[in-house]
Structure 1
Amino acid sequence: MDAEGGRRVFNRLGPSSSSHNGSNNNDKQQKVCFHWRQGKCTRYPCAFLHSELPTSSSNGKRAHQEFGAEDNYRGGGGGLRRSGIYASGKSNNTWGRVQSQQPVTSSYRTVVKKIEKLCNHWVQGSCKFGDNCKYLHQWSTGDCFTLLAPLEGHQQAVTGIAFPSGSDKLYTGSQDETLKVWDCQSGQLAGEVNVGGAVGCMLSEGPWVFVGLTNLVKAWNIQTPTELSLNGPVGQVYSLVVGNGLLFAGTQDGTILAWKFNVAANCFEPAASLTGHTLAVVTLVVGGNRMYSGSMDHSIKVWNLDTLQCIQTLAGHTDVVMSVLCWDQFLLSASLDKTVKIWVATETGNLEVTYTHTEEHGLLTLCGMLDSEGKPVLLCSCNDNSIRAYDLPSFSERGKILGKIEVRSIQIGPGGLFFTGEGSGQVRVWKWSAEATATS
C-alpha cells in the first residue's frame, strides 16, 4: 500500500494484452476514469484507470496500474473536542477516524466507511455483513463504558429511575403505569406495582420513593409498609426534588407544589404553592439555598428556599428547558434548542450565561458524576438516541452510548454504576471503566 496525494492507494493488476482481441480493445480499457479525475468515482472496482496513463515498460507491456480508494470519512472511535468554559469560547469539532479494511481478492482491498449509527439489523441479530457493515455493531463508543445487563419488562417509555441509598433494589417507573422493583444482585424482577397512571418522574430520599403521576404524587416507605398519596397537583407531575425539608413537585399547569412531612401524623402536609411559570415545569434541582425550575415556557426560574420567592428568571433558551443541574458554582441547563448553557453568578448575584455548548440534536436530560480521579463528567441524553459523555469544563468527549430509541432518564448508582431508561421500555445497567461516584 502506497500513499499518494493524501489518499490510500491499493495496488491491482491492469488488464493484460492477452485478455483482449487486439491492441485497440486493450487501449480502450486503459482509459483514465473521468469521474476519478474529478475525485468522485464511486465504482469499486472501476473498469477504467484511477491513475494517469503510465509510460510503457521496456518489454512493451503496460506497467501495473493503481486503484485509489479515498479515506476521508469520520469514524466512531475518536472524540469530539470542544473548547471549554474557561477557554476562548469558540467551538472546534474534530472527530477521530476509524477504518475497517477487509480483503476482497488477493489483488486489492476495499475500505468500509463506518457511519456512527447503530445497525438496526445487528440489534435484531440479523446483520449479514459482519465486520464489513458500514454501521456500528456496538452499544457504545470510547473505552469508558461497559454494558453489564439489560433489564427487560416495561412495555412503554421508562420515565423514572430511583436507587435508594443503602438499598439492594432498583426502582423503575414507566408510562405503562407500572413501578418495577429489581434485585441488584441477580438482575431479576423482584416486584411490580400497578400505580394506576403513567409515571412522569421518580425520586428517592431517605427511606421514601416518590412517584409523580397525573394529579397525584405517591410515596412509598421502603422500610415500613407505608403508602401515601399526596393530592393537589393539576395534570401530570413531571419533576420532583427535596430541599430545605420540603418535597417539591413540578406540574403540568406550571405550578410547583411543596409538602412538609409531619412525623407525628406520619403524613405529608401541603406547605406552599409556587407560581410564575406559564407552562409545565419539567425539571427541578436544588443547589445551596436555591431551587431552579425549567419549563416548557423556555424559562428557568430561581427560587429562594427560605422565602419560597422567585428571585430571578433566566431567559436564555429558545425551546423547552428539559433538564437543570448544579455543579460547583455553576448551573447547567439543557434544552430542545440543542444547547447546554453554563450559568454563573455575577458580582450582583444574578446568573448569566458564561458558555454555550451546542449539539446537533435536542437534549433531553443531564446527569453528572465524578470519575475515579475526582474529575466531573457530564452525561447528555440527546433525541438522536444517544448519550454523550463530556469532561468538564472542557466539554471534551469521553464516549457515547447508543440506543434503539431515546433515553428519558439516567440514574447514578454506587461504585461506578449508572442506569439508563429508554423510550422502548428497556433499562440498561452500565459501569464506568474506572470507579466513579455521584455528584449533584
Structure 2
Amino acid sequence: MDLDRNKPVFNRLGPQNDTRQQRVCFQWRAGKCTRQQCPFLHRELPFPRHQQQQYSQSQSFGNGNHTASSSSSKRGHGGFTDDHLLPRRNPTFTNSSTWGRAGGGGGGGVSRAVVRKTDKLCKYWVQGNCSFGDNCRFLHSWSTGDCFSLLTQLQGHQKVVTGIAWPSGSDKLYTGSTDDTVRVWDCQSGQCAGVIDLAAEVGCILSEGPWIFVGLPNIVKAWNTQTTTDLGLSGPVGQVHSLVVGNDLLFAGVQDGSILAWKFNAAANCFEPAASLRGHTLAVVTLVVGANRLYSGSMDHSIRVWSLETLQCVQTLTEHTSVVMSVLCWDQFLISCSLDSTVKVWVATESGNLDVTYTHNEEYGVLALCGMHDADAKPVLLCSCNDNSIRVYDLPSFSERGKIFAKQEVRSIQIGPGGLFFTGDGTGEVRVWNWLAEPKAST
C-alpha cells in the first residue's frame, strides 16, 4: 500500500513492512532536514558485522611468526627440485560432483556465503573526501569478510604490478612492474630497500631456491641472491609473460606463442637452452607445473598440456572462449580462468584426458587465480576479476568468503609464509594481507 507523505508518519526509526520506507533521508544525512514528521529514516541502516570490525595495520609484515624461514618450501639451493608449486597442504576432493555445491568446502559442511547490505566501495572514501564518514552506506574498507586483514601497503611502483616473489629463507620481498623496475622490500620494516632499473617492462617474476627470475622483452634475467650472480637468458622473441620451474627445467611463456626451456649447468654456473615448445598461435601468458605435466594458457583461448618427460603436447583444451589468464594445479584438479568470465575445474578421466567437471561464472573477466589455505587449513581460491576486486571462495563449494578491493585491477597474487599473502594492482600498489582464524561460535 502506498504511503501518503502528507499524513503523519510514526515510528520511523522502527521496522517498516513497506521496504520503501527503509530509505535514509538525504537531507538528514546532509544535516539540514527541517520536516517535523519526515517520512524517511533519520538513522543509517545497520551495517553488516564485517563492516563494523576495525583492522589494525602494521608497518612490519615479517616479524613474529611471519618469517621466511617458517615457509614449508622444499626448494633446494643448488639448483631446482621437482616441487610443482602446489599449496602446502593439498586438499583431497575425491568426488568431483561436489564442486560448486554449498556446504562442500573444506570439510565444514555449511555454506559461509557472506550476506551484506552493500559491497560497493565508496569512491569518495578512496579519494579521501567522503563527507558522510561512518554514516556512509558504501564501504570504507578495502575488504569484506572477517577471515583476513590488511597489514600494510607498499607504495613505490608507478604502473601495474606484474610479479611478486618472496625467496625461501630471504628477508626480502621482490616486486616487478611495467614501470621498468624491480623493487626490493625489507620484510621487517616494510620499507623499500632498493630499486633495480631494468629499462624494460617486467612481465613476470619467479623465485626458485636462491634464484630470482625476471621476464623482460627478449630476455630472462636471473639473479642468485646468495652469490650475487647476474645472468641473462637469451632466446625469447617478445615479452616474457610467465615463468615456471619443473623437472629441473626453467620454462618461459613468450609473446610469439613459444615456450622456451633452459637447464642449469652447475659446473659452468649458467643456464643452457634445452628446448623450444611450439603449438600456441598467440602469446603464452600463464604456466603451471603439476603431476609431471606442464600446462600453458594462451591468448589463443587454449590450454595445452605438455609431458615433462617428452616435452610433447599431449592434449589441447579449447573450452574457453577468450584469453586464458591463469592456470592452477590443485590435487588432481586443474583450475583455469579466462576473460570469458568463467573459472573452469578440470579433472582427468580414465583415459587420462582432462574434462571440465565444473564451470563457475563471474560477472566480469577473471585475471588471476591463487589457491591457498586459510588460518584453519581450509582450502580457498582467490579470483581477481576485471572490476578491480578479488573474490575469495571456499573450495570446492565456491561459497563466497569475502572480497578484496583495489583502485585498479589486481594482476598479481602471491602466497607468503605464516598466513601472509600479497596483491599487486594496476596503480603499482602492493598490499600485504594476513589470514585470521575463523571466529568461534559462542556457547
Q: Compute the TM-score of the two structures, normalised by the length of structure 2.
A: 0.77
The equivalent of 1:86 in structure 2 is 97
* CA positional deviation for 1:372: 3.2
Is the aligned partner of 1:173 residue 2:169?
Answer: no
Count of residue correspondences: 366
Paired amino acid for 1:96: V
The equivalent of 2:298 in structure 1 is 295
Query: Judging changes above 3 Å, is the alpha-carbon distance between structure 1 residues 74 and 249 closer, same or farther for their aligned structure 2 residues?
Result: farther
Paired amino acid for 2:116: R
Is the aligned partner of 1:246 residue 2:227?
Answer: no
Query: Judging changes above 3 Å, is the alpha-carbon distance between structure 1 residues 45 and 196 closer, same or farther for their aligned structure 2 residues?
Result: closer
Is the aligned partner of 1:126 residue 2:129?
Answer: yes
> How far apart in 2 are the matches of 1:86 and 1:76?
33
> How far apart in 2 are the matches of 1:76 and 1:335?
32
Query: Judging changes above 3 Å, is the alpha-carbon distance between structure 1 residues 119 and 225 closer, same or farther for their aligned structure 2 residues?
Result: same
| Partner residue of 2:119 out of 116, 120, 126 | 116
CA RMSD of aligned residues (A): 3.0
Query: Judging changes above 3 Å, is the alpha-carbon distance between structure 1 residues 420 and 40 closer, same or farther for their aligned structure 2 residues?
Result: same
Paired amino acid for 2:148: F
Paired amino acid for 2:11: N
* CA positional deviation for 1:206: 0.6
Q: Which has the higher strand share?
A: 1
Contact 2:99 2:358 in 1 (8 A): no
Contact 1:256 1:273 in 2 (8 A): yes
Contact 1:77 1:96 in 2 (8 A): no
Cα offsets for 1:87-140 (capped at 9, x unmatched): 486899976133xxxxxxxxxxxxxxxx42221221222111112223210010
Q: How does 1:5-154 map to 2 (within 5 A)?
A: 11=11, 44=25, 67=39, 86-87=97-98, 96-98=115-117, 115-154=118-157
* CA positional deviation for 1:252: 0.5
> How far apart in 1 are the matches of 2:284 and 2:231?
23
The equivalent of 1:364 in structure 2 is 367
Q: How does 1:189-204 map to 2 (within 5 A)?
A: 189-204=192-207
Contact 1:378 1:389 in 2 (8 A): yes
The equivalent of 2:166 in structure 1 is 163
* CA positional deviation for 1:429: 0.7
Which 5+ residue runs of structure 2 have no aligned equivalent?
1-8, 28-36, 51-94, 103-110, 439-443
> How far apart in 2 are the matches of 1:139 and 1:244?
39
Q: How does 1:193-342 map to 2 (within 5 A)?
A: 193-342=196-345
Contact 1:85 1:394 in 2 (8 A): no
* CA positional deviation for 1:374: 2.5
> How far apart in 1 are the matches of 2:239 and 2:26?
59
Q: Tell me the secondary structure at the aligned position of residue 134 of structure 2.
A: helix
Cα offsets for 1:198-246 (capped at 9, x unmatched): 0000000011000000011000000012100000001100000000000
Paired amino acid for 2:97: Y
> How far apart in 2 are the matches of 1:239 and 1:402?
25
Contact 2:24 2:40 in 1 (8 A): no
> How far apart in 1 are the matches of 2:159 and 2:99?
43
> How far apart in 2 are the matches of 1:164 and 1:88?
33
* CA positional deviation for 1:42: 7.4
Q: Tell me the secondary structure at the aligned position of residue 292 of structure 1.
A: strand
